[in-house]
């Protein structure tokens, strides 16, 4: 199947606008993706025609809202091949999902002397919660170092796992470098010592299919807004036997079975982890994003993104002053220009309507390891980008080289 990218771009109204009197070239997709019209329509339809709280109410609007809300959960379960919709927990995003596991699993099961294995490449959201857990429980954190090519040193990783290792938490894809981590090997290492595994899939699910059962990870998290859905909605997938044993993280309405002043009993999965009125519109919007992605040929999309990545890397490698960090495989490309601050380059690009990101990309330990105190420029791709977007970025960078 040959993708008609120009037609697909019409599904995303924001791409038609101009920025600084220039056509928008949006290459900040690792931070957040744009939304197709079907997602915008789903949000509007809920607020226009279904707006009511979900579960328990007897009236028609609530019934419709509940059906749409739970149907979205079922779509997400199918999307990642979860065995049961009860294993799909709505959160505000990947960050909250990691925090839920950190506090509801980590605080309950880790003790002094236990070890948590992370990697140098992690987003802050997959570092800071575990630091809090370690500080509270007496556990320690072990960090997988990098090789010279900025990929994980798997020989060193193997030496980190021991009978004291209780948890492995790593990203599926690096948000800063676009590297796909060898998660199958890492999960196998963790399982060999009886450790629980959590994967941060925020940068993965928008680019390729994920099968949590094939991965056999214990927890998998991602955010809606990085896969063409709304902000403020995310997903925690967990194995049932772990979720059943974990206490609620937040408490209040919606997540209870019975309350008295003497005792409260909590609801069944997934509701015991969903206190309060949920982001109903966000969940429905995420369901629409899943429908949209599943309606496309994901193999063809991946092939198109790989062609764009190759075009970008070829162009950057032809610029003597440009240095690419690592060996990007999907999504994001981080690079620096000799003797030029990344923010200055990004400002010049923005004047030409080109949106990229600069800084540490919420990965300061990684930038420290790469000895990049000012961080990098990062161009990140989605399937709605085209060859013209890459050409515009490369032309803009050429102008920046001349200007600075």
Tell me which residues are annotated as active site. 362
| Cβ atoms within 10 Å of 112's Cβ, excluding its own | 9
Q: At which residue do the structure tokens 């599904």 appear?
A: 11
- The strand pairing partners of 18, in sequence order, are 23
Tokens (6 digits) for 51: 């707006």
Tokens (6 digits) for 345: 């380059």
> Which among 360, 369, 366 is positioned nearest to 31, based on CA atoms?
360
Continuous H helices in 249-386? 280-294, 298-317, 342-351, 364-369
Indicate the DSSP class of residue 146.
B
Query: Are 246 and 104 in contact, with CB atoms under 8 Å apart?
Result: yes
Please tell me whether the peptide bond between 328 and the residue prior to it is cis, using omega within 30 degrees of 0.
no
- Rounded to an integer, what distance in angstroms lies between the CA atom of residue 87 and that of residue 166? 21
Specify whether the backbone of 20 is left (phi greater than 0), alpha (psi in -120 to 50) or beta. left
Query: Are 378 and 366 in contact, with CB atoms under 8 Å apart?
Result: no
CB within 8 Å of 91: residues ≥ 6 apart: 97, 100, 221, 233, 234, 235, 236
Query: Are 169 and 198 in contact, with CB atoms under 8 Å apart?
Result: yes
């Amino acid at each position: 199947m040959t993708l008609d990218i120009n037609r697909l771009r019409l599904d995303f109204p924001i791409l038609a606008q101009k920025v600084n009197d220039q056509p928008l070239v949006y290459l900040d997709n690792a931070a957040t993706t744009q939304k197709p019209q079907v997602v915008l329509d789903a949000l509007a339809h809920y607020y226009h025609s279904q707006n009511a709280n979900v579960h328990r109410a007897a009236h028609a609007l609530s019934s419709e809202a509940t059906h749409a809300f739970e149907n979205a959960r079922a779509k997400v379960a199918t999307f990642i091949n979860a065995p049961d919709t009860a294993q799909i927990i709505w959160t505000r995003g990947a960050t909250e999902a990691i925090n839920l596991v950190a506090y509801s699993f980590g605080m309950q099961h880790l003790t002094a002397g236990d070890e948590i294995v992370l990697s140098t490449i992690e987003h802050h959201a997959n570092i800071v919660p575990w630091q809090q857990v370690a500080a509270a429980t007496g556990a320690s954190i072990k960090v997988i170092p990098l090789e010279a090519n900025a990929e994980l040193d798997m020989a060193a990783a193997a030496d980190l796992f021991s009978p004291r290792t209780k948890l492995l938490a790593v990203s599926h894809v690096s948000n800063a470098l676009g590297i796909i981590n060898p998660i199958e090997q890492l999960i196998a290492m963790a399982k060999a010592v009886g450790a629980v595994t959590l994967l941060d899939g925020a940068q993965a699910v928008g680019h390729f299919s994920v099968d949590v059962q094939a991965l056999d990870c214990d927890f998998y998290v991602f955010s809606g807004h990085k896969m063409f859905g709304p902000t403020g909605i995310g997903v925690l997938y967990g194995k049932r036997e772990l979720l059943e044993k974990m206490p609620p993280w937040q408490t209040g309405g919606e997540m209870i079975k019975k309350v008295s002043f003497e005792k409260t009993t909590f609801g069944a999965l997934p509701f015991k982890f969903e206190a309060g009125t949920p982001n109903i519109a966000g969940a429905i919007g995420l369901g629409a994003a899943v429908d949209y992605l599943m309606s496309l040929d994901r193999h063809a999309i991946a092939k198109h993104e790989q062609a764009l990545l190759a075009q970008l890397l070829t162009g950057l490698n032809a610029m003597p002053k440009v240095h690419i960090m690592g060996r990007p495989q999907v999504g994001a490309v981080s690079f620096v220009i000799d003797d030029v601050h990344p923010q200055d380059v990004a400002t010049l690009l923005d004047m030409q309507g080109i949106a990229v990101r600069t800084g540490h990309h919420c990965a300061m330990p990684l930038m420290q390891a790469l000895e990049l105190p000012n961080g990098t420029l990062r161009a990140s791709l989605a399937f709605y980008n085209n060859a013209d977007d890459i050409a515009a970025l490369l032309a803009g960078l050429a102008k920046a080289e001349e200007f600075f």
